[in-house]
Amino acid sequence: MKNLYAKLGFIVAVVALFTFFALPVKEKIKLGLDLKGGMHLVLKVQTDDAIKIVTDQAVLQMEEEMKKAGVKYDRVDRSGYDKVVVNNYDLEKERDMETIVKENFSDWTSSSSNGKYVLTIKPNVALQIRDQAVEQAKETIRNRIDQFGVSEPVIQRQGIGGTSDSLLVQLPGVEDPQRVKNLIRNTAVLELKLVQDGPVGTKEALLSKYNNVIPEGTEIVRGSAGREEQGFYLVKKVSAITGADLKDASVGKDEYGSPAVNFRLKSEGSRKFYKVTSENQGQRLAIILDGIVESAPSINAAISDSGIIQGHFTYDQAKDLSLTLRSGSLPASILYMEERTIGPSLGADSIRTGLRAMVAALLLVIIFMLVYYKVSGLNAVVALILNTIITMGALAYFRATLTLPGIAGLILSIGMAVDANVLIFERIREDLRAGKSVKSAIDDGFKKAFVTIFDSNLTTVISAIFLFQFGSGPIKGFAVTLIIGIAASMFTACYVSKVIFELDMSLRKKVNTLSI
């Protein structure tokens, strides 16, 4: 009897614990994207871009070094994304070239033929750059998402051990998918460059002013279309300051009261900015965002530590821009590989229908068990209800995500949980028919059925594990609920049910019959 109380106490404690985990359900159970609404994105970081940037820098450095060493050459170009090509260099200075490469370009392999000197980035270095680019992109995107304010976002690198160049981004509850997508993908490369000429209506017209040759140290950029800035500008190649010099950016208003972005500079940046603005008063400064001139105000006075970006923004655009500037620029452009957006009302519908199906299934099974197994059926029903509570509690405890297929898994595990009870009850019935006493029939029934239950449940768990391994979000949710549901049913059907039978027997004085 004492033993029985201990068992009962244990069961109550377990159930209480899991109830505590699960309550209040609305807060504790994490809903998946398909129920809550939101976005699921898989994006690929174009890591070639990152290598291209490194190669571009190498081109500039090569030019500089060759000038320093007095080696004559025609042109230094980037070829592909990872090659620096020196055209028509002074072949007699081969040795000098070797010294330059040895001293400055240890990350590159060199070769020369037909008057061309080619540097190629080493594969391991390229791999490292790619890896860094993806990591940096991940951090930048995380920053942006955090600042935008999404609760419980998932931002992960995919692939085995997180080595691939694609990122998984899950944003539950996001209601403005388009806006968030732009926010994530905005490379937000900010450059401030001195304007040499422009804007001119077409590129050709601009070029013709310079005999169709772009003057040394300058480049042509496009102005923002459909505004007074449209057209083409000739600007200095070297930036006065870039996004990297920013300390902070925030939404503000320009002199006409329309939304704009205020920025403040880090100390080194403000020194640079002061120098440029004081030396070039009266000239214009192009504010270039992602390669497009947003505005080109004249420099009226020397500025050191702050400025404003005007660009006919709406309030939200200005807010998002300041956010992306704060979070830093992406090291490479981004391509969307997969996108799933579930509207909030569809999610709400799914929860409703899912719950309806679950309640219906539960009721149907309960009625059936009561009719078929009479009083013992009640035992199974108790086990079933406890099973549901424990499963919910476990879901909450493991912070598992409940998805729509997950609800299906819960419903399915109702059917499967009952299976354990059915197996046991059928064994007991057989033994009773064979003339065994109620007590030994119950003992034997549980003992014999347990092996079968264990075996058969394990196979379901095996398939669920592989589903979890290979599946994506919603499917993972299904696998998890199924596994948890089955584990819970082992406890409720094999342990709780038995204790209930024992309790029943201890309460009755004489045990001759069993309602089963």
* CA pseudo-torsion sign 174, 178, 184, 190: negative
Closest to other proteins by CB, 331 or 474: 474
Q: What are 508's two structure tokens?
A: 């009755």
* 70 to 63, 93, 268, 428, 457: CA distances (angstroms): 10, 9, 32, 98, 78
Using the contact rule CB under 8 A, the part of the chain among 92-100, 205-213, 248-256, 329-337 near other proteins is 329-337
CA atoms within 13 A on the CB side of 452: 16
287 with 313: CB under 8 angstroms? Answer: no
24 with 111: CB under 8 angstroms? Answer: no
Q: What are 255's two structure tokens?
A: 């002199």
End-to-end Cα distance, the chain: 24
Q: At what angle do helices 94-104 and 47-69 cross, to 10 degrees?
A: 130
Closest to other proteins by CB, 205 or 360: 360
Q: Which one among 281, 472, 506, 515 touches other proteins, defined by CB under 8 A?
A: 472
**String of contacts with other proteins for each residue 76-115, x by CB under 8 A:** ----------------------------------------
d(CA 164, CA 47): 11
Closest to other proteins by CB, 77 or 175: 175
Minimum distance of other proteins from residue 439's CB (angstroms): 21
Q: Which one among 16, 25, 205, 458 touches other proteins, defined by CB under 8 A?
A: 458
17 binds other proteins (CB under 8 A): no
343 binds other proteins (CB under 8 A): yes
49 binds other proteins (CB under 8 A): no
Minimum distance of other proteins from residue 509's CB (angstroms): 27
43 with 335: CB under 8 angstroms? Answer: yes
Q: What are 37's two structure tokens?
A: 């609404």
> How many residues make contact with other proteins (CB under 8 A)?
83
Minimum distance of other proteins from residue 220's CB (angstroms): 26
Using the contact rule CB under 8 A, the part of the chain among 108-116, 207-215, 305-313, 331-339 near other proteins is 331-339
Closest to other proteins by CB, 244 or 357: 357
Q: Which one among 220, 290, 344, 397 touches other proteins, defined by CB under 8 A?
A: 344
Closest to other proteins by CB, 69 or 335: 335
Q: What are 252's two structure tokens?
A: 């503000």
Q: Which one among 419, 431, 502, 504 touches other proteins, defined by CB under 8 A?
A: 419
364 binds other proteins (CB under 8 A): yes
301 binds other proteins (CB under 8 A): no
Residue type, 36: K
Minimum distance of other proteins from residue 67's CB (angstroms): 42
Minimum distance of other proteins from residue 15's CB (angstroms): 23
* 206 to 94, 291, 295: CA distances (angstroms): 39, 18, 18
Q: Which residues pair with 111 in a beta bridge?
A: 118
Minimum distance of other proteins from residue 374's CB (angstroms): 7
Name residues contacting other proteins, limited to 180-209 (CB under 8 A).
Answer: 181
Q: Which one among 96, 290, 426, 444 touches other proteins, defined by CB under 8 A?
A: 426
Name residues contacting other proteins, limited to 121-150 (CB under 8 A).
Answer: none
Nearest-CA neighbor of 499 among 5, 18, 13? 5
Q: At what angle do helices 344-397 and 497-507 cross, to 10 degrees?
A: 60
d(CA 297, CA 307): 11
177 binds other proteins (CB under 8 A): yes
d(CA 323, CA 167): 21
444 binds other proteins (CB under 8 A): no
Q: Which one among 455, 507, 510, 512 touches other proteins, defined by CB under 8 A?
A: 455
d(CA 149, CA 170): 13
